[in-house]
Chains A and B, each alone.
Chain A
Amino acid sequence: MNKNIILYAAILIFGLAAPFIFPAFKVQLSILCVLIVLATTWNIQGGEMGYNTFGNILFYGLGMYLCASVQVGMFFPLAEWTESGGEKTFVHTPSQFFQGMAVGLVVAAVIPTIVAGLIGYAILGLRGHYFAICTLGLGVAAGEISGGIEIIGAGQGFTTPPFPNVGGLEARGEFFYFLSFGALVLTFLAVRAIYSTRFKLILNAIRDNEDKAEAMGIETMKYKIIGWMVSAFFCGLAGGIMGGLVGYIDSTDVAFDGREMGVFMVLMAILGGKGTLWGPVIGATVFHIFKEGFWTFFLGWQYVALGVLIVVIVIYFPEGIMGWLREKYPERFGEVVDEEDRKAQVELK
C-alpha cells in the first residue's frame, strides 16, 4: 500500500511538472491524456464486461459537439457562428470563454451519460458480435447524420472558439494540458474506485457467463447500463476537451472518427491488456509514443501502418502487455504459483 502511494504521488508530480519539463510537447501530452481516458473507459466495456463496443466514439463526438455548441451558443447565435466559418465576426472575451468552457464541459459530460442510459436498454441487450457491429453502425450513423445538420456546420465543419488572448501562446497549451490531465486523474480515480467494489465483480460475472450471473439474481441489465453510463460520462468529457484542443470539429474526421479514434481506443486497451486497471494506461502511452514517433517516418502511409498494426496486435498479441507480464511474473499479480502443480500441467501438455 505504502509503495502504491509513493508510485501515485510520483506519477502525479510528474504529470503536473510535465508541461514545464517538455514545453514543446504540451499538445501531444494533452492528447495522450485524452487517449488514456478513452482507453480506460473502453476497458470498462471491452475488458471487464466482455462487451466489445465500437460505439464509445458516439459519446466522444457528442461531447465534442455539445461543448463547442454550448460555448458558442451561450453568448452568440449558433447558426450565424457556424455560417461564418473561419472568419470570426464574434469574439469571446476571456471570461466568456472560460465560463462557456466550464458549462460546456458539464453539458458535454452529462448529456452523453443520459443518452447512454436511454439507448443502453435497447443496445446492451445484444451480445457478442451483434453488439460490436450494432455499435459500429451507431458510431458511423452519428457521423453521417451530424454531417448533414446545418446548425452545427454540416459538411464544412465547426470552428470552436479560439483561445482568448491571455498570457501569450504558452497559456493555451498549459490550459488544455491541465484540463485534460485533470480529466485523466478524475477518470483514473473513478475507475479505480469502481474496480475495488462489488460492481467490478458483477461486470466480470457478466463477461464470464451472463446467463449464470442472471440466474444468481444479479440484474445484469442494470449494471450493464450503469457501466456504459460511466464510460459515456468520461468519453463526453474527453471529447469536449479534445474539441477545444483541436479547434476545429468535422463530423466524420474529428468527432465521430470511427476509423481513427474509435479503433485507437480498442487497440490501446488490447495492446496494454484488457481487463486490467493499468493496461489501458500503459497501452495508450506506448501506442501514442509509437504513433507520434513513427508517424513522421510513415508520412502518408500512417493508415497503412495502422492497418498492419491492428492485424499484428490482434493476431500475435491479444493478451497485451499486462497479460504478458502476468504470465511472466505471476507472483507480482498476487497469484500463488504452486510449482508442483505447474510441473504437473506441463507434463500433461
Chain B
Amino acid sequence: MDFMVFQYPMITIQACLDGILLGVLFALIAYGMALQWGVMNIINIAQGDLVILGGYIAYFMYLYGIHPAWGVIVSPIIMYFVGVAIYKLVINKVVDRDLFISILATFGISILFMQLMNFAFGADVVLANSGYGTTFLFDSNVVLPNSKIFSAFISIVFAICLVVYMKKSKLGRAIRATAQNARAAKILGVNTEKVYAATFGINAALCGVAGALISITFTIHPYMGLPYTIRSFMIVIVAGLGNLPGVAMSGMGLGVFEEFADYILGTEFRIGSVFLLLVLILVYRRFKLSRKREYLK
C-alpha cells in the first residue's frame, strides 16, 4: 500500500493523464465489442486476442524496418479479413444459439489464437519503438510519451470515422437496422448474413487499430488478451449498448482507475484489480436492480 500518490499532486496528474490516454484505447476496443454485441448478440471472448494479433502485425512491420505507425492502416485491413474468416468458420454457426455457446466457442478461439501467436511470435514481451520522444509538462514533473498522445488522437479519429460511417453509409444503416430487429431487416431485403460478417470484420479491424496502437505505446504478449476482453466487457456493461459518449467516459474512467490501482496496490495487483472491479460492478448492478425485482438482461 502506497498512498504517496495523493500527497504529491504531480503524481496524481500523471496518473490521471496516463489513465485518460490509456482509457481512450480501451474505449475503442469496447466500441467494437458493443457493436457486435448489439448487432449479433455475441460476447466475443477472443476480442483481446484479436487486439494482440493486430499488435503483432504492427510489430512485424517495425521489425522489417517500416515505421510501426503505418500499422494503424495495415493492421485493420488484415484484421478485417481475419474477422470475416472467423465469422465464416465459427461464429455464423453460433449466432442465433444460446449465448453461453457463443461465449464458450469464442473462448476456444481465444485459446487457439493465444497459442498460435505463442508459436509464431514467441513468448517474449515486445514493443514497437515509434521514436516519437516525450513531452514534459509542469517543470518536467509530468512525463508523457508522445506515442500515447498519438495513439489517443488516432483512436479518436477512428472512432469519429466509424460513427459517421455507421450514420451515413448504406452498410452502416443496414447494420443498425439489423441490430434493431434482425427479422424485420431480413424482410425488408437486408442480407443479414453479410451484415453479420461485416460487423464482425469491422470489430476485428477496430481491434487491429487498437492493437497496433498498443504495440507502439505499451507492450504486447501472446497471453495478454483476456484482460482486454474483460475491460471492454466492463466498459460496455457500465455504459450500456449503443451509448457512445458513455463508452468513451467509462473507458477513460477505467484507465484512470487502473493507473491509481497500479500506484496504490502495486503493479502485481493491476490485472487482478481490473477483474475484481468487474465482479464488484456486476454485483453492485445486481443489488441495485434487485430492489425493483429485476435482473441484468
Contacts and interface: CB of A to CB of B under 8 A. Distances in A.
**Is A bound to B?**
yes
Contact of A314 (B104, B119, B286): B104
Interface string A126-156: 1111101110111011011101100000110
Interface in A231-250: none
A307 B225 CA distance: 15
Interface in A263-313: 263, 266, 270, 300-301, 303-304, 306-311
A125 interface: yes
Contacts of B218: none
- Which label, helix, strand, loop or mixed, suits the secondary structure of the A interface? helix
A52 B45 CA distance: 15
A346 interface: no
A15 interface: no
Nearest to A309: B108
Contact of A145 (B107, B233, B272, B282): B272
B112 A311 contact: yes
A88 interface: no
Nearest to B227: A140
Nearest to A46: B100
B109 to A, nearest CB: 6
B101 A304 contact: no
Nearest to B37: A129
B272 A125 contact: no
Interface residues of A, number: 41
A312 to B, nearest CB: 8
A216 interface: no
Contact of B275 (A144, A270, A301, A314): A144
A146 to B, nearest CB: 9
B276 to A, nearest CB: 5
A305 to B, nearest CB: 9
Nearest to A122: B283
Contacts of A315: 90, 93-94, 101, 105
Given A140-B230, A145-B276, A311-B90, A127 B107 contact: no
Contacts of A123: 279, 283
B105 to A, nearest CB: 5
A127 B296 contact: yes
22 contacts: A52-B103, A126-B286, A128-B100, A128-B297, A130-B296, A133-B278, A134-B282, A137-B282, A138-B279, A140-B230, A141-B275, A141-B276, A144-B268, A144-B272, A303-B115, A306-B108, A307-B109, A307-B110, A307-B111, A307-B115, A311-B108, A314-B104
Interface of B: 43, 90, 93-94, 97, 99-101, 103-105, 107-116, 118-119, 226, 230, 233, 237, 266, 268-269, 271-272, 275-276, 278-279, 282-283, 286-287, 290, 295-297
Interface of A: 52, 122-123, 125-130, 132-134, 136-138, 140-141, 143-145, 147-148, 154-155, 259, 263, 266, 270, 300-301, 303-304, 306-311, 314-315, 318
